[in-house]
């Protein structure tokens, strides 16, 4: 797998694709190979990413670090193939990169890559997208768990979610049996009880909540701004009102309401 081919597979924005190929041709990968390789290791990925970021500076739009991470993804692809994991799972998992570039462009009017700190999970094969949802293998309180993440382009129908949960169980049983039957958890604004007062009965978000038992909340009202509005640098009165949820949430926040980041555990048989 080469970066040019990878960019095509991930439907990378044309402008970014061209710049990444240009950067690839001038970077001396031999000098930074160790840092790139160590992003595969959860024990070192943060340190190596920080050192790589410092080495690549200036990198105002993050395209140098993006190029390095895509270079690492090309090697990750070989591991997928060795294990027999499908190209479909690989492509959907790695579309993380293009999805966040398009989202940043929509919100800020330019392409900028600011998610290098999270992409190490995809590079190191700790996180996979299976159907509508993403599943991250991790250890919490000394026990293995799978942390569910909700992509911005998710379609929260009951049938889609059911298929994702079932396919994920089969996936981990086949490829990572030590995670086959572990607890699945989720931390998200989507689980916040406050949404019950903002959304109508039958809402897909409220249906999603029904599959989880709430285990705790974090005082992080700002977290919802990232996902509903794409940014948290605006005062509440200046938040956009392009969707029904944006309008309702804006009024709720201006009236002093809070939407806590909420943690939950997937029930054993959610459907």
Mean pLDDT, residues 22-34 = 95
> Of 89, 109, 125, which residue constitutes the final position of a domain?
125
Range of the domain at 135: 130-271
Quick one: 201 and 268 in the same domain? yes
Look over the chain and give the mean of its residue pLDDT values, rounded to a whole number: 94
Quick one: 17 and 108 in the same domain? yes
Instruction: Find the radius of gyration of the CA atoms of the chain.
Output: 19
pLDDT for 105? 96
Which is nearest to 65 in space by CA: 8, 123, 10, 106? 123
Quick one: 151 and 114 in the same domain? no
What distances in angstroms separate CA 16 from CA 23, 49, 112, 120, one per listed residue? 10, 21, 9, 20
pLDDT band of residue 269 (cuts 50, 70, 90) is confident
Mean pLDDT, residues 18-28 = 97
> Of 97, 125, 153, which residue constitutes the final position of a domain?
125
Quick one: 139 and 170 in the same domain? yes
Mean pLDDT, residues 167-192 = 97
Quick one: 255 and 199 in the same domain? yes
According to DSSP, residue 269 is labeled S
Query: Is the per-residue pLDDT at 116 higher than 90?
Result: yes
Quick one: 255 and 209 in the same domain? yes
**How confident is the model over 239-262, as pLDDT tens digits?**
999 999 999 999 999 999 989 999
According to DSSP, residue 192 is labeled -
Number of domains present in the structure of the chain: 2
pLDDT for 220? 65
Quick one: 96 and 15 in the same domain? yes
Quick one: 180 and 105 in the same domain? no
The structure tokens listed for 259 are: 């939407």
Quick one: 255 and 134 in the same domain? yes
According to DSSP, residue 236 is labeled G
Mean pLDDT, residues 117-122 = 96
Quick one: 174 and 94 in the same domain? no
Quick one: 136 and 253 in the same domain? yes
Sheet bearing 127-130, strands edge to edge: 127-130, 133-140, 143-149, 183-188, 261-266, 212-218
> Of 125, 144, 178, which residue constitutes the final position of a domain?
125
Q: How far apart are CA 52 and CA 30, in angstroms?
A: 13
Mean pLDDT, residues 102-121 = 96
Mean pLDDT, residues 170-188 = 97
Quick one: 138 and 264 in the same domain? yes
pLDDT for 35? 93
What CATH number should be reported for the domain holding residue 217? 3.40.630.120
The structure tokens listed for 206 are: 């409220």
């Amino acid at each position: 797998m080469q970066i040019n081919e990878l960019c095509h597979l991930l439907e990378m924005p044309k402008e970014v694709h061209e710049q990444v190929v240009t950067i690839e041709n001038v970077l001396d990968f031999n000098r930074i190979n160790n840092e790139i390789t160590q992003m595969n290791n959860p024990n070192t990925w943060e340190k190596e990413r920080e050192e790589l970021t410092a080495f690549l500076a200036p990198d105002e739009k993050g395209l140098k670090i993006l190029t390095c991470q895509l270079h690492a993804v090309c090697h990750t692809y070989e591991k997928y193939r060795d294990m027999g994991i499908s190209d479909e799972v690989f492509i959907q998992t790695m579309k993380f990169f293009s999805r966040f570039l398009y989202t940043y462009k929509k919100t800020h009017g330019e392409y900028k890559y600011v998610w290098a700190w999270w992409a190490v999970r995809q590079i190191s094969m700790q996180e996979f997208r299976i159907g509508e949802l993403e599943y991250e293998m991790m250890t919490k309180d000394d026990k293995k768990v799978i942390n569910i993440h909700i992509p911005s382009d998710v379609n929260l129908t009951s049938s889609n979610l059911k298929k994702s949960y079932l396919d994920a169980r089969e996936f981990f049983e086949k490829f990572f049996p030590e995670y086959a039957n572990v607890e699945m958890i989720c931390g998200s604004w989507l689980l916040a009880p406050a949404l019950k007062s903002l959304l109508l009965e039958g809402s897909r978000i409220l249906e999603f909540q029904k599959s989880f038992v709430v285990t705790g909340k974090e005082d992080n009202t700002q977290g919802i701004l990232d996902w509903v509005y794409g940014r948290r640098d605006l005062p509440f009165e200046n938040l956009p009102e392009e969707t029904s949820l944006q309008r309702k949430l804006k009024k709720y926040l201006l009236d002093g309401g809070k939407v806590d980041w909420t943690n939950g555990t997937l029930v054993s048989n959610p459907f």
